[in-house]
Structures are given as C-alpha cells and as structure tokens.
Amino acid sequence: MARCDVAQMAGLSWDWDSIDAAWKKEGRWPECAAGNSAMTIRPLQGASILVVGAGIMGAGIAQLAARAGHRMQLFDARAGEAQQAVRKLGATLDALVAKGKLTAEAAEITLGCIEPLAALEELRDDTRLVIEAIVEDLDAKRALFQQLEALLAADCVLATNTSSISVTAIANGLEHPGRLVGMHFFNPVAQMKLVEVVSGLHTDASVAAAIFDLSCAWGKTPVHARSTPGFIVNRIARPFYAETLALLLEQAATPQVLDACLRAAGFRMGPCELMDLIGHDTNFAVTLSVYKAHFFDKRFAPSPVQHEMVDGGLLGRKSGRGFYRYQSDGSGLPPLPVAVHEAPSTAGEVTVHGVGVIADFLDLAATRALAQQGWGPARVHDSGWTGLAIDGARLVLSDGRCAAELAAELDSQDIAVFDRLLAVPTSTGTALAFAVAPAASPAWRTQAAAWLAALGFAPLRLADAPGLVVARTVAMLINEAADAVQQGVCTPDSADAAMKLGVNYPAGPFEWLSGWSVAGVIAVLDALDAYYRGERYRASPWLHRRNQAAR
Ligand code: NAD
C-alpha cells in the first residue's frame, strides 16, 4: 500500500513527495491538509505580543521581546505576579545600566514596552502573537488557548513554550489549530541561543516559518522540529545521562571517574554533576515522560539509581547532596582523580596498529615516549584494529567489546581496552578510561596504565564494561539523533545545532559521526546489544541504511 493511501485512510491527505522535498529544502514538517487550509501569516517582527505566564520562562521571553521593541502585555493567573515580574525586570535592566551594558534610555524604553495585564479580556485588539509559558499541564494549556481563541483575531499566532507536551495534543479542539506552534526556549532565555520551533500535525507551515523568522530577528538560532516526545534536545540528550546511570548501576566506575572521562571528551560538565545541577527530581520527571511517551521503549527507561536518589531526597545542588555533597556557597565538587604516572617498563617490541587520526596520534605519542630509550615503535596499517602491541600484550582502542571478549577471541589474556578519543588531545593529562581483561597478568595490569600515562593520558581504570564511557555514550547519542532524523523529527544539521546550543555539547552528533564511521558506531552498538541483550542498544535504521549504501 502506498504511503499516501495509509495517510488517507487515517483521514489525512499528505503529499509525501512534497513532505520529502520540504524536509530536504527547509528541514520543516509541512502543513497537513486535515481540514486545515494554508494560512497567510504576516511577518511577526514588530507585532504586539501577549505572554501568558509570568514565571521564569514567561518573564524571560517578555524581556527578550521588549528588548526587540515589541509592544508587550504580560498576564499571569496569580494576581500581582505579572506586576512583580515587570518590577524584577526593571531591577535587572537597572543592573545592566549600572554595569554600562545598557543605556538608561534603552532600559526605560524596554520597560515601557511591557504592560502587566490584570485580566485576559484586557488584551490589545492588535495582538498578533500569544506566547504561552504557564504550568506544564495539557488541560491547563488547552483551556487557556480555547479561552484565547474567543478573544483573538483568527490570524493571531498561538505559540506554546511547552518542553514536553505534544503540540498536536494542545492544538486539538481549537477552532483554528493550524495557528498553534511550539516555540521552545531554553533557560535562561536571555542567554540560550536555541529555539525549537515545533510543528504538530495541525501546524500550518507558514506559522512555523513566521516563528522561525521572528526567533532569528530576536538573535536566536531556531531549528524546526516535529512534535514528538522530547522534541530534539530532550530526546537526543537522554543517553548522556542513561549510559552513566547504567555504568553506575553495574558499579563499573564512580561518579567522579565518569564525569572526568566525559569532561575530558569536551563536555562542559559530566553527567553526574549536570544531573546534580538540573536536580534529580526534574531530570527523573523528564526521563519518565519521554519513556512513557515512547510507550515504555526500554531505550528510554529511567534508572533505579536516579529513582532512589529522588526517593531519598538527594536532589543535587538544591538539596545540598546528590552524587556529590555541596556547601552552602555552591562549592563541593571533589578534585579530579589523580592519575598513576609510572614510566613504562622497558619493552622489547612496540607496534602501533591501525589507520586514521587516532592511530597517527598513538604513533606520535609512542615515538615520543620511546625516544628517551633511543628507539621507536613499528607501524602496521592493515591489521584491522587500532592500538599498541607491546611484547605480545595489546592496548586496544574500544570497538565496543570488553577486554574479556577480546581476550577470548585472541586466546591471550594480556589485553586492555581504552576509550574512544573524540579529538586528538592537545595537552598531556587528558583523562581516559581503560579496562583490563579479568585474567590478565598482574604485570600487564600495571603496565597498561603506565603505557597510557606514557602516551600522555591520565588513565582511569573501570570495570571491564563494554564500550567503556565515551564510546558507548557518544555512540548512543549518535544513534538517538539518527533515529530522530529517520522519524522526521529534525534534520542532521538541526540536530547538531540543537545539541550544541541547547545543551552546550562540544559538537553535534552528526559531527562526531563524520569523525568516526557509521560502521564503527554500529559495531559499538552491536557489541553493547550482544552483551546486554535487549532492545536498548538496537542500531537505528538510518545508520544501517547509510552503512549499506557505503558498501
Ligand atoms: P513557572 O512555574 O516559573 O511559571 C509558570 C507561571 O504560569 C506561574 O507564574 C503561574 O502562576 C502561571 N500560570 C499557571 N497556570 C496559568 C494559567 N492557566 N494562566 C495564566 N498563568 C498561569 O514555570 P516556568 O519554568 O516558567 O515554565 C513555564 C513553561 O515553560 C512550562 O510549560 C515549562 O515546561 C516550559 N519550560 C520551562 C523551562 C525551564 O527551565 N523552567 C525551559 C523550557 C520550557
């Protein structure tokens, strides 16, 4: 059955060819013709705007729009809340003036743009955009928009700042559902560049386009997303936490070690310190909502580790204790673990194996380390693995399999695996996870760490878990991004931009993929899948298709 026939049976009349074309050209989910004719929306730059909800996000959005010169109204269901938000904004602007970052005149004009509203009925007749930032509750949001529809012109755009509720569901029941779109800002609104422009099944393409353009005019970087659980950022980011929680659950490493490894890979914060900052209650709630919305797909399953922390009130920084203990001044992160630095014992034969930047770096580092002893390593390019052979023992770049599996395959116990490098280290002392085969000789256990130190790393030993830390986390982030693209949530470019701007990742998942290989990522996922058995590590069809095409 053709795709359009299926859509028509479902009461929808999608033109799949134009959907494909729109995605390729604009990265956008085009309008669906389910009783929803295309709208013509005038550009929203300069429009009068109403923001509903004067909490953290609503106040931030009102400030942003007022700074851009819009005439703003701000309403909150709690009496006095909108006035209070405007007063706070006045204090924020005064502080900027005092620091010389804003002129007193600009501050006065900005503040003069915002009018607190006592009742929704007092909204301006020429309001052309409403941005909702009320409580995260479907019924409350639906009721608000239905109430607003009775007060607004038919072409007024309705935007919701929801971070987790289906935009399609919020629009359901509206007289003009095509005008409702997600406009998902990140906290703090003034600083975070990303806006996810989220289209539900009803959303008119011209409405999404108008919000996209307005976000650009406000100095943000918008990305189009389809309304699916977690949208782009909150979905793709799940494995960053989940893989660390899985390693903690099986006692493979401590929070300190896991954080150090991922920070060394370029992440601004490790998952444990980040979960402590977000709050385990909040992070658990988001995880649970994405898990439920995916009908309990095991890939998104929350961890008993975080559940127990929530139950125990160990919520992170806000409660003074999470994975770490915090002082009242916010300090409290323990220092990085200190690396073992021993010179490698004299080896008779060292060979660097593999091709590519990591192998080249190992060659350079081993040459440097052995130069003190007056000789250098040999090099073999076509052995099919990357790492060092040292007198018959092997130090192997992780391909997802644990050291014990490699030892069994090679029928040799002196095997160690080390974690994936996302970039060639530019300084010595970069934390790097490694694991040694359980039956390795005591001498090799010491030497594996000493060799990594001699190559310039700060080696951190883990239990022999497949994919170590960085390899499995990044492979899973790529996999989730690939699935999001496969399911039409976003384009690869949008996924990269969203992860860099929404959660400050050092690179986007598809940028990591271009420095790795599709086959290499699938190998790590397959190794995890074979080891743990279950649906969690299944590789995305997007990756499989690219891998087949590359053959
Ligand atoms: P908040 O609790 O700080 O503010 C919500 C405000 O809405 C409150 O002042 C409340 O009185 C008001 N309100 C509740 N129901 C209302 C109604 N029916 N009509 C008018 N006002 C009503 O919440 P927040 O953190 O600003 O979040 C608001 C929205 O933004 C939520 O949908 C949330 O998921 C989303 N969001 C939050 C963040 C974040 O980091 N806080 C980030 C992105 C998106």
Report CA-CA distances (Å) from 413 to 170, 220, 353, 445, 474: 58, 54, 19, 11, 28
Would you name the residues annotated as active-site residues? 163, 184, 196, 234
Q: What is the pLDDT, as a whole number, of residue 39?
A: 82
Q: Is 53 in the pocket of ligand 1 (CB under 6 A)?
A: yes
Give the mean model confidence (pLDDT) for residues 407-421: 96
- 179 contacts 157 by C-beta, under 8 angstroms: yes
Assess whether the C-beta atom of 177 lies below 6 angstroms from ligand 1. no
Question: What pLDDT score does 27 carry?
Answer: 47
Q: Provide the pairing of β-strand 127-132 with 114-117.
A: unpaired
Examine the domain organization and report whether 286 and 217 are in the same domain. no
Query: Binning pLDDT at 50, 70 and 90, where does residue 461 land?
Result: very high
Using the atom order of ligand 1, give the atom closest to the CA of residue 160. Answer: 32
Same domain, 63 and 125: yes
Dihedral, CA of residue 139, residue 145, residue 146 and residue 148, to nearest 10: 140
CA of 76 to the centre of ligand 1 (A): 10
Number of domains in the chain: 3
Can you give the pLDDT at residue 334?
63
- Pair 155, 41: CB distance under 8 Å: yes
Asked if 124 and 219 sit in the same domain, the reply is yes
Same domain, 81 and 218: yes
Read off the pLDDT of residues 341-392 as tens digits, 9 standing for 90 and up.
Answer: 555 766 789 999 999 999 999 999 999 999 888 899 999 999 999 999 999 9
Residue 202 lies in a domain: yes
Domain residue limits at 206: 35-227
Taking the CA of residue 76 as centre, how many other CA atoms within 13 Å lie in the half-sphere pointing to its CB?
21
Q: Is residue 51 part of a domain?
A: yes
The reply to whether 433 and 401 lie within a common domain is yes
| pLDDT, position 321 | 94
Phi-psi label, residue 466: left if phi above 0, alpha if psi -120 to 50, beta otherwise: beta
Check if 205 has its Cβ closer than 6 Å to any atom of ligand 1. no
Which of 51, 56, 130 is the best mutation target for the ligand 1 pocket, counting ligand atoms within 8 Å of the beta carbon and taking the most? 56
Q: Are residues 47 and 181 located together in one domain of the fold?
A: yes
Q: What is the pLDDT of residue 9?
A: 33
What pLDDT, in 10s, does the model give residues 480-510? 999 999 999 999 999 999 999 999 999 999 9
Tell me the per-residue pLDDT of 15-52, one tens digit each, with 9 for 90 and over.
445 555 555 544 444 444 333 447 888 999 999 999 99
CA 264 to chain centre: 17
Amino acid at 78: R
524 lines ligand 1 (CB under 6 A): no
Query: What confidence tier does 338 reach under pLDDT thresholds 50, 70, 90?
Result: low
β 430-436/457-461 pair status: parallel
| Model confidence, pTM | 0.90
**Closest to 457 (Cα-Cα) out of 490, 420, 482:** 420
Q: Which residue has the higher pLDDT, 124 or 343?
A: 124
Q: What is the CATH number of the domain that holds 283?
A: 1.10.1040.50
Element (H, E) at 371: helix 357-371
Percent of the chain as helix, strand, coil, to the nearest 5? 45, 15, 40
CB of 149 sitting under 6 A from ligand 1: no
Question: Closest Cα partner for 431 from 410, 395, 456, 411?
Answer: 456
* 393 and 419 co-located in one domain: yes
Q: Which atom of ligand 1 is nearest to the CA of 57?
A: 26
What angle (nearest 5°) sits at the alpha carbon of residue 493, between those of residues 487 and 494?
65
- Name the residue at shortest CA distance from atom 1 of ligand 1: 55
